[in-house]
């Protein structure tokens, strides 16, 4: 949605990717949504790869959540440099701003859950964290992103085929259900017709008996 807005306004956006340790994210989602750690890790990986895929050349910086508490001033400097910002405020003012915003009391999970992270997820996070430190996105991250894009294209094709199959099955089931309704309706009509015939025959039988009795 935002990209369409930027295109319409002829604006070139600069993106900042904010990442957090996948173990901390998994711990948070486990407590809040009762998600399994493996599910949370997969969700973390897919989300960050999707962001990288969409931002591409407009990605200017990556910031790491934990670094705001451990090396907040250094991360602020890297961010300012990556965005080519030259503020008129002093180093002390930047430090004060970081200290005011990065409040340790708001930090519920810490990045010490490496043991529960799968090696691939932990390795990818290390690349992102290193980018947050030196301010340069390595080619390895883009290579991983391209692999993700190719896999996503294949999955989209599969999902399209599955959706088409499901639609065909749903249409078939609807036809069968409609046929079953018609058959049930015809059976009821046949039963009703049979009852009517039997009733008419019974009436005629009674009339015949009555007429015979009357003549006798």
pLDDT digits (tens, 9 = 90+) for 154-170: 655 655 555 667 777 88
Rounded mean pLDDT of 15-39? 85
Handedness of CA 29, 60, 149, 153 (dihedral sign): positive
Share of the chain above pLDDT 70, in %: 83
Rounded mean pLDDT of 87-113? 75
Top-confidence residue, 154 or 123: 123
Domain boundaries, the chain: 2-137
pLDDT band at 31 (very low <50, low <70, confident <90, very high): confident
Whole-structure pTM over 0.95, yes or no?
no
Range in 31-35, 64-68, 73-77 the model is least confident about: 31-35
Q: Rounded distance, CA 111 to CA 26, Å?
A: 11
């Amino acid at each position: 949605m935002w990209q369409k807005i930027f295109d319409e306004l002829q604006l070139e956006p600069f993106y900042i990717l904010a990442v957090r340790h996948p173990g901390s994210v998994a711990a948070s989602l486990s407590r809040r949504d009762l998600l399994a750690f493996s599910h949370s890790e997969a969700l973390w990986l897919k989300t960050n790869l999707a962001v990288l895929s969409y931002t591409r050349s407009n990605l200017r910086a990556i910031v790491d959540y934990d670094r705001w508490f451990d090396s907040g001033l250094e991360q602020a400097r890297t961010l300012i440099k990556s965005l080519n910002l030259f503020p008129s405020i002093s180093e002390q003012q930047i430090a004060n701003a970081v200290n005011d915003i990065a409040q340790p009391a708001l930090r519920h999970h810490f990045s010490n859950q490496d043991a529960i992270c799968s090696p691939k997820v932990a390795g990818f996070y290390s690349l992102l964290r290193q980018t947050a430190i030196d301010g340069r996105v390595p080619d390895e991250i883009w290579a991983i992103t391209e692999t993700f894009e190719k896999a996503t294209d294949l999955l989209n094709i599969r999902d399209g085929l599955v959706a088409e199959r499901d639609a065909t099955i749903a249409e078939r089931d609807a036809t069968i259900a409609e046929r079953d309704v018609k058959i049930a309706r015809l059976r009821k009509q046949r039963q009703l017709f049979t009852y009517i015939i039997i009733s008419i025959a019974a009436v005629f039988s009674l009339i015949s008996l009555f007429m015979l009795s009357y003549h006798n």
